[in-house]
Structure 1
């Protein structure tokens, strides 16, 4: 639909059916008003993104001006309705505020008791794993100091466990990303693979030899790969990275994973943890996965590899995002930026914030349905950035859980959920992103629902079942 026509239709609906205000509203009417307000807020955010995208497409000036004016009118209608309702409720709210706070707090406590599941001490385990990997990092530095393999840096905790939540307490994968930089005499150059789909950006890491004749002249124990005789190189120096972990001058993920697995196994006996824990390597083609056990506890760890995009929080990593990924393809990863976002929220949120509890509850609730836990994580991240941090306390727990449920419903109906980082102008400026990620064109995580009617039908069917489960487990309501 043409954006102008759509906005006219939306504006007409708002004018013809304004949200009711006034005293004496029953509970059902209040619920409808709240749902309508949430829907309009999501529409407003989506329209803002459309205006930015249309402006980048260089629309005719008159059409773009019309879109902007209509969006301003929509904002006025939404804000005006909210202001009218707020003014109408202020007098009553001031009288009963203290009583409502006590009721909401007790209500939140009741909900917490219903949704509380068996909680593993994620923070304690993450700290133990961080200590283990720090010991590994020290050994990596000693073993690889004079080699021409990638330089391995301190691992970065990513994924649900290091963010403070987990959908599966009994099957947690503690995932870390290990940044790599080129060894002496080499350089990395990222090349975007244009053959991939628009919503999956794959890169290739081209390895290039650099002249080190100056170092050789200064007495360093290294021959220049570019200008030293081949016979001298073969006799006196280890092979270059091009000859060990590359395929056609590009860093190979599978070769890197195999080399790293061998390194992890060889170093394990030198670590202090090896005296009380047992290491078991697990099969993996694009990462190093292993399990450590001590007879009482067992932790599964996955070590991914990544190359920085500049000095940003975006990497190209070994973790695949498609069913089949070429061994020289390194998909763009937002895992570190997402982990940084949760740290940013933790600094802003009050001590009693329950946003992680909300995310953990919904990530478990959707298990077995057609919605991914990443879908729920994305919805919660959008809500965290749209609402003040103070609104995630126990007294607001029922409202926030309901917001997440309603947001999922809206996304499924519209078959649209925008990626949280790519093209999100509201993403915190404190977290460094490459310009093409921050200002790029966002994409729809639910695009498959628009392309596959059967999948959308199944998703709506799953939502109806999930809605009943939500009412029973979170709100304590029977059908």
Structure 2
């Protein structure tokens, strides 16, 4: 009986050892195909297994105590027990030593993506920017030279746009067609950081239906939304019910059109009119609105073209009002005028297309409109300038980054990074750093901060929208509360979903860093080396 008990004890020792080895997370991870993503998770998992083994060891010791309380065992059994106990301890020690080696060495393998990120994160070490003197020369010689006629360009575009919109209203049926309001100036040209030529002005034109109809905007701004950062626009009738085509419900005059129809008074072969709404729905279609607006602009220009001695054409047809003015002298001025719908009584607009990045619209359906915070962003920059030092360097930093970005795009092609992302990084930094840090003499340091901040966001695949869900947003911005209190909106969400796009963007970013010094030197007046210190990123 005593021998049977001892054999049972030895069997349990074997069982504990084998269980410990099989269940060890590092030896047999087949039940956990992927290791924990972080060191903390990995260590926590190990601690749990060690605690389980310690409990099992205590149970064995209690078993041994019970056995020893019985009659004395033969010498051979004791020697056998000592042998197996020593073997068990040796196995436990080997597991522990192997675990320590795993922690200190290369055992902490991560997924392929994490390995790539660590490599990328170290590749900028040693990259340097030109010193303060060279940056100042580059800004004076190139940036200022490239934007010297910006004021005259803005003045011309604003005057011509007003005339064009007035002509557009005159060709519309005021009782049945869309009501077009005055244009609103937005974007880099009016925020004074546009660098790339041609100097393109961006204007948005709010439009609304005639009474008693109305638009109801339904913005979606959360990460959980199907299209975060987008919204839909429904058409409602006089009874606050979703309006489809009312032609069959109301007796209209012979020359009067339903508000959902285009301004074209000619019926097609089937006797139907083109709708501004998406087919079989009461949601405004971005594509149909674009065609309506292009048709309206064409008619408006034909009415006033005799007053001007230049040609007006569409730059490209995948944006509503991407226009190009060409003078007889050969000079060309481009500008974008885009129809938008105002969200309630605010300065937030739903825009049909972003003219400079039309591919963004292709990612969504034609009933989803892009949320534009352009008016709030311009207001923020204007108000912040009152608190910054005279001739502050914040816009200079953005201009230099935009210059480097555009040149790199010409070399390596487009990626998932846009100038709007660069602007968003600056807006966040303006709130996170004291106003005194933006003195003109701090250009070098702040430019380095912007690159580092952008790199951090890229590595984390997270860049929060500046307006949506930003608790630090100043009160003077006056953003609608629902957006101020919303969950943050990640502008780098596409990188999480598209690994190829992410890798291409990271490669482009680090190439931009490496080429920064060469590009700035090429576009600057050459001066002898001053011996100034280089600024490492």
TM-score normalized by the length of structure 2: 0.60
Q: 1:10-89 maps to which residues of 2 (within 5 A)?
A: none
User: In the alignment, does 2:152 pair up with 1:119?
Assistant: no
Shift of 1:145: 6.5
Q: 1:368-407 maps to which residues of 2 (within 5 A)?
A: 368=409, 370=415, 371-407=417-453
Whole-angstrom distance in 1 between the partners of 2:285 and 2:336? 18
- Residue 301 of structure 2 corresponds to 268
Candidates 332, 335, 339, aligned match of 1:301:
335
- Residue 184 of structure 2 corresponds to 156
Say which is worse superposed, 325-334 or 431-440, in terms of deviation.
325-334
- Residue 362 of structure 1 corresponds to 401
Q: 1:40-439 maps to which residues of 2 (within 5 A)?
A: 109-110=136-137, 112-113=139-140, 116=143, 118-120=145-147, 121-144=149-172, 146-170=174-198, 172-192=199-219, 197=225, 200-210=228-238, 230=250, 232-235=251-254, 238-244=256-262, 245-247=276-278, 248-271=281-304, 274-294=307-327, 295-319=329-353, 321-367=360-406, 368=409, 370=415, 371-439=417-485
User: Greater RCO between the two (CA within 8 Å, min separation 6)?
Assistant: 2
- Matched residue of 1:426: which SS? coil
Compared with structure 1, are the counterparts of its residues 196 and 284 closer, same or farther at alpha carbon in structure 2 (3 Å cutoff)? farther
**Does the 8 Å CA contact 2:217/2:344 hold for their aligned counterparts?**
no
Deviations along 1:22-63, one digit per CA (max 9) or x if unpaired, are xxxxxxxxxxxxxxxxxxxxxxxxxxxxxxxxxxxxxxxxxx
Whole-angstrom distance in 1 between the partners of 2:203 and 2:294? 15
**Does the 8 Å CA contact 1:424/1:439 hold for their aligned counterparts?**
yes
Shift of 1:405: 1.7
Whole-angstrom distance in 2 between the partners of 1:384 and 1:359? 12
- Residue 467 of structure 1 corresponds to 513
- Matched residue of 1:251: which SS? coil
Higher share in helix: 1
Deviations along 1:100-123, one digit per CA (max 9) or x if unpaired, are xxxx98676346357647413223
- Residue 7 of structure 2 corresponds to none
**Does the 8 Å CA contact 1:363/1:373 hold for their aligned counterparts?**
yes
TM-score normalized by the length of structure 1: 0.66
Compared with structure 1, are the counterparts of its residues 2 and 306 closer, same or farther at alpha carbon in structure 2 (3 Å cutoff)? same
Whole-angstrom distance in 1 between the partners of 2:150 and 2:533? 28
> Which has the higher Rg, Structure 1 or Structure 2?
2
Compared with structure 1, are the counterparts of its residues 106 and 300 closer, same or farther at alpha carbon in structure 2 (3 Å cutoff)? closer
- Unpaired segments ≥5 residues, structure 2: 1-35, 45-130, 263-275, 355-359, 522-531
Compared with structure 1, are the counterparts of its residues 145 and 443 closer, same or farther at alpha carbon in structure 2 (3 Å cutoff)? same
**Between Structure 1 and Structure 2, how many residues are aligned?**
367
**Does the 8 Å CA contact 1:313/1:432 hold for their aligned counterparts?**
no
Deviations along 1:425-457, one digit per CA (max 9) or x if unpaired, are 122322232222111111322234445555555
Say which is worse superposed, 300-309 or 427-436, in terms of deviation.
427-436
- Residue 32 of structure 1 corresponds to none
Shift of 1:241: 0.8
- Unpaired segments ≥5 residues, structure 1: 10-103, 213-224
Compared with structure 1, are the counterparts of its residues 140 and 267 closer, same or farther at alpha carbon in structure 2 (3 Å cutoff)? closer
Shift of 1:348: 3.5
- Matched residue of 1:149: which SS? coil
Whole-angstrom distance in 2 between the partners of 1:226 and 1:265? 27
Deviations along 1:129-148, one digit per CA (max 9) or x if unpaired, are 11111222333444446332
